[in-house]
Amino acid sequence: MSAVQRQDERLTFTEVITLYQKRVYGYLLRFTRNSHDAQDLFQETFLRAHRAYVALPADADLRAWLMRIAVNLTKNYVRDRQRRAKVLVDEEKGHNLDGTLDLEDAGRDTESTMISRETARTLLATIETLPFHQRAALVQRQFEGLDYLTIATNLGCSQESARAHVYQALRKLRLALEHADSEAKGV
């Protein structure tokens, strides 16, 4: 355990925020791919943490604790978006407003990185349909470069499960690309 955690008794909540804000924001931004939502969830994470801080055991792992709050909030975020997307789809007969921002965003990268807009669209859309743990693990592994031990503590699962989530997600993404490819060729 780091010196920081042992001194937990003396850390004010403001100090806790300063220590971990980058970590939390990084995850939220990579998950939502949208700074507006990331900022909202960032505030919500620390407001929740603030309410619970007093009941937190002195020897708790602050980073893992905060990350779990953030992870749980992204879980709710996915659920709310899916609910909202469903309403939109129902109301506007298939016009899905929800993905617009993400795809615009992806398109911006197209020229520089040689990934086709179509591939980006397929991958991002598939990521949105992944079960929550697979998606969260994938985001942390591929977009944040975290190791499996850290991902496991953030998700509250074993290291092996964290790895399995990432691999399962990659398998689905590969199949989605394969499928999109064969459709494009008219097979």
CA nearest neighbour of 155 among 165, 169, 170: 165
Which window, 77-85, 88-96, 163-171, contacts another protein (CB under 8 A)?
163-171
- Map the footprint of another protein across residues 103-162, applying CB under 8 A: 105-106, 109, 113-115, 119-120, 123-124, 141-143, 158, 160-161
For tokens 């998606």, name the residue: 135
Task: Reduce the DSSP state of residue 116 to 3 states and report it.
Answer: coil
| C-alpha to C-alpha distance for 136 and 75, rounded to whole angstroms | 9
| C-alpha to C-alpha distance for 102 and 91, rounded to whole angstroms | 21
- Closest CB to another protein among 17 and 88? 17
29 belongs to the binding site for another protein (CB under 8 A): yes
Residues 63, 72 contacting (CB under 8 angstroms): no
| C-alpha to C-alpha distance for 143 and 49, rounded to whole angstroms | 25
163 belongs to the binding site for another protein (CB under 8 A): yes
CA nearest neighbour of 127 among 162, 103, 93: 103
Ramachandran category for residue 158: left, alpha or beta (phi over 0 → left; psi -120 to 50 → alpha): beta
| C-alpha to C-alpha distance for 103 and 67, rounded to whole angstroms | 27
Amino acid in the structure at residue 87: V
Which window, 80-88, 89-97, 164-172, contacts another protein (CB under 8 A)?
164-172
5 belongs to the binding site for another protein (CB under 8 A): no
CB of 64 to another protein, least distance (A): 14
- Closest CB to another protein among 37 and 88? 37
Is residue 99 exposed (0-12), middle (13-18) or buried (19+ Cβ within 10 Å)? middle
- Closest CB to another protein among 36 and 93? 36
| C-alpha to C-alpha distance for 103 and 125, rounded to whole angstroms | 9
CB of 31 to another protein, least distance (A): 10
CB of 87 to another protein, least distance (A): 27
Q: Identify the residue among 6, 50, 79, 95 touching another protein (CB under 8 A).
A: 50
CB of 129 to another protein, least distance (A): 16
Chain residues that interact with another protein, rule: CB under 8 A: 9, 12-14, 17, 21-22, 25-26, 29-30, 33, 35, 38-39, 42-43, 46-47, 50-56, 58, 105-106, 109, 113-115, 119-120, 123-124, 141-143, 158, 160-161, 163-165, 167-168, 170-171, 173-174, 177-178
